[in-house]
Structure 1
Amino acid sequence: MSRSTAVLNSLATKVKGSSYMIDARIPITGLTRIAAERAAMRTRAIAIFGRRGATAFVGQGARVWTRGQVRFGPGTTFGHGSLVDAMSTDGVTFGRNVSVGRNTRIECTGNLQQLGRGITVGDNVGLGTDCLYGCAGGIEIGDDCLVGNYVTFHSENHVADRRDIPIRLQGVRHAGIRVGKDCWIGAKATVLDGANIGDGCVIAAGAVVTAGDYAPYGIYGGVPARLLRYRDDTG
Structure 2
Amino acid sequence: MDAFLHRIFAALLRLVGKTYAMSPELPAGYLVNTLVRRLVWLLRALLRGRYKVFIGPGVKMRGGSRIRIGRFSTIGAHCQLDGYGREGLLLGERVNIGDYTIIGITNHPSQLGKGLKIGSDSGVGQYSYFGALGGIEIGSNVIMGQYVSFHAASHVFDRTDIPIRMQASTDLGIRIDDDVWVGSKVTFLDGAHVGAHSVVAAGAVVRGTFPPYSVIGGVPAKLLKSRLNEASLNETPST
| Smaller-chain TM-score bracket | over 0.9
Q: Secondary structure at the match of 1:106?
A: strand
* Aligned counterparts, 1:198-217, within 5 A: 198-210=195-207, 212-217=208-213
* Aligned counterparts, 1:1-235, within 5 A: 2-15=3-16, 17-48=17-48, 50=49, 53-210=50-207, 212-231=208-227, 232-234=230-232
Q: Using the TM superposition, give the Cα deviation of residue 229 of structure 1 relative to its aligned residue in structure 2, in angstroms.
A: 0.7
Q: Secondary structure at the match of 1:71?
A: strand
Deviation readout 1:70-120 (Å, 9 max, x if unpaired): 112111100011111111110011111100101111111131110100101
User: Whole-Å Cα distance in 2 between the matches of residues 114 and 161 of structure 1?
Assistant: 21
Q: 1:19 to 1:202 in 2, by over 3 A?
A: closer
Q: How many residues align?
A: 230
CA RMSD after TM alignment: 1.3
Q: Secondary structure at the match of 1:12?
A: helix
* Runs of 5+ consecutive residues of structure 2 not aligned to the other structure: 235-239
For 1:205, the aligned partner's letter is A
TM-score (norm 1): 0.94
Q: Using the TM superposition, give the Cα deviation of residue 233 of structure 1 relative to its aligned residue in structure 2, in angstroms.
A: 2.6
Greater C-alpha Rg: 2
User: Whole-Å Cα distance in 1 between the matches of residues 223 and 81 of structure 2?
Assistant: 33
* Runs of 5+ consecutive residues of structure 1 not aligned to the other structure: none
User: Whole-Å Cα distance in 2 between the matches of residues 65 and 12 of structure 1?
Assistant: 31
User: Whole-Å Cα distance in 2 between the matches of residues 219 and 14 of structure 1?
Assistant: 35
User: Contact 1:9/1:20 (CA < 8 Å) preserved in 2?
Assistant: no
Q: Using the TM superposition, give the Cα deviation of residue 161 of structure 1 relative to its aligned residue in structure 2, in angstroms.
A: 2.0
For 1:112, the aligned partner's letter is P
User: Whole-Å Cα distance in 2 between the matches of residues 188 and 120 of structure 1?
Assistant: 20
User: Whole-Å Cα distance in 1 between the matches of residues 51 and 28 of structure 2?
Assistant: 26
Q: Secondary structure at the match of 1:64?
A: strand
Q: Secondary structure at the match of 1:61?
A: coil
Q: Secondary structure at the match of 1:8?
A: helix
Moved over 6 A (4+): none
TM-score (norm 2): 0.93
Q: Using the TM superposition, give the Cα deviation of residue 18 of structure 1 relative to its aligned residue in structure 2, in angstroms.
A: 4.1
User: Contact 1:86/1:118 (CA < 8 Å) preserved in 2?
Assistant: yes
Deviation readout 1:4-37 (Å, 9 max, x if unpaired): 211111112111x243432221111111111111
